[in-house]
Amino acid sequence: MTISARAMDLADRVEAFVREVVFPYEHDPRRDHHGAPLDDLVMELREKARAAGVLTPHILPDGSHLTQRETAMVLIRSGLSPLGPLACNTNAPDEGNMYLLGHVGSAELKERFLRPMIDGRARSAFLMTEPAEWGGAGSDPSMMKTTCHRDGDHWVVNGRKAFITGFAGARVGIVMAKAEEGACMFLVDLPDPAIRIEAVPNTIDSSMPGGHATLTIDNLRIPAHQMLGKAGEGFQYAQVRLSPARLSHCMRWLGACIRAQEIATDYACRREAFGKALIDHEGVGFMLAENRIELRQAELIIDWCASVLDSGSLGTEESSMAKVAVSEALQRIADRCVQVMGGTGVTDRTIVEQVYREIRAFRIYDGPTEVHKWSLAKRIKREWKQAQDLA
């Protein structure tokens, strides 16, 4: 499947917008105590994106989505700045939540919850992960302890959630809980007094407004028609969201590392030491060369996985492989960029140190590397056993 001229033009316009409009905002002081951008900064950027015709560019006016390969072209470019995905409304968790609602939401739910998200006027949060000290769901969602039960024409939810990205300030929530029938998924308006923020811990990353909150859910009443699908189908819908959202992270952070490489290259070509430019020292030049190789490898594996998703496959195995390969490669790339720039690389004079921090967190978010490897190893063993049974 080829990438359309429309998508290529859109990607070019997103890149021009991020470079010309978003870059100057990277030192804007409108940040919270942890350095995350405040919503007034985000909304100002979104109005500029709207005027430039690059707001929510991966969703077309008729509500259809670009293909995953086309989406990659757009999201990589939006990721050239940590603020780019927020400005263009391609950021996590909103992009994944929009994808989910666009594919499985009813017409009524789309109009009520999805439309404000596509318009860039509402942020969202996905409430699945639970506190480790509570024994709840983390990398293993089957451990979910948040419960729900039917009460007339409502469902009542009780439990706790943790690391809920963007919750503070979000207007749309997707809540996962466990009923007798199995996992359930609900849409809720936020804020709701039944969902209380316990804490918003400081984390190594700081690109997402609203932080990563720990929550208590106390007798949250949700109208039955706000359930996605039927009781017990929650994990099924989570799978619809999982692989594309996982791959979207790879796309955005590849863009960030492309930018970090540009900054480190400029530094190495201008800075001199021991009688010549840094890049002319093999120890520095080789690091940038290795980065170029791994950037291209990351781009290729993203395109490969996207093509699998475009074929109609859930792409569970392929997205796990992409998540491992890309996140680990990008960590090496960001680390080399910091190293090339020396002392400057660990300051906030450029976005390089932030990219390094964000990528370190990315190796955990949407499944740690080790969980994906474990899942792949189980598949390898299962395929071996099947081959033995047929022999």
CB atoms within 10 A of CB 274: 7
Distance of CA 222 to the CA centre of its chain: 27
Name which of 264, 325, 323, 321 is nearest 294 in CA terms.
325
State the 10-residue block means of pLDDT for the chain, 391 residues long: 89 98 97 94 98 97 93 98 98 96 94 97 97 90 95 98 97 98 97 97 95 97 96 91 94 98 98 98 98 98 97 95 98 98 97 98 94 96 94 77
d(CA 54, CA 103): 22
Please report, rounded to a whole number, the percentage of residues in the chain having pLDDT higher than 70.
Answer: 100
Domains of the chain, by residue range, sit at: 5-91, 125-232, 235-381
Kindly list the distances between the CA atom of residue 18 and the CA atoms of 84, 228, 313, in Å, as whole numbers in the listed order: 6, 35, 32
Fill in the DSSP letter of residue 89: T
One-letter amino acid of 306: A
CA-wise closest residue to 312 among 126, 110, 103: 103
pLDDT digits (tens, 9 = 90+) for 165-182: 999 999 999 999 999 999
Judged by phi (left if over 0) then psi (alpha if -120 to 50, else beta), residue 163 lies in left
Q: What is the pLDDT of residue 18?
A: 98
Pick the CATH number of 235-381 from 3.90.550.10, 4.10.490.10, 3.80.10.10, 1.20.140.10: 1.20.140.10
Quote the tokens at residue 352. 């390089």
Domains 5-91 and 125-232 share a fold: no
Query: The tokens 């099924």 sit on which residue?
Result: 236
pLDDT of residue 1: 64
CB atoms near residue 68 (< 10 Å): 26
- Tokens 């998703």 sit at which residue? 309
Q: Which CATH class is domain 125-232?
A: mainly beta
Q: What is the pLDDT of residue 123?
A: 97
CATH number of 5-91: 1.10.540.10
pLDDT for 63: 87
The CB density around residue 34, as the number of other CB atoms within 10 Å, is 13
Angle between helices 68-78 and 5-17 (to 10 degrees): 10
Q: What is the pLDDT of residue 47?
A: 98
Q: Coil, helix or strand for 262?
A: helix
Minimal CA–CA distance to 365: which of 158, 205, 197? 205
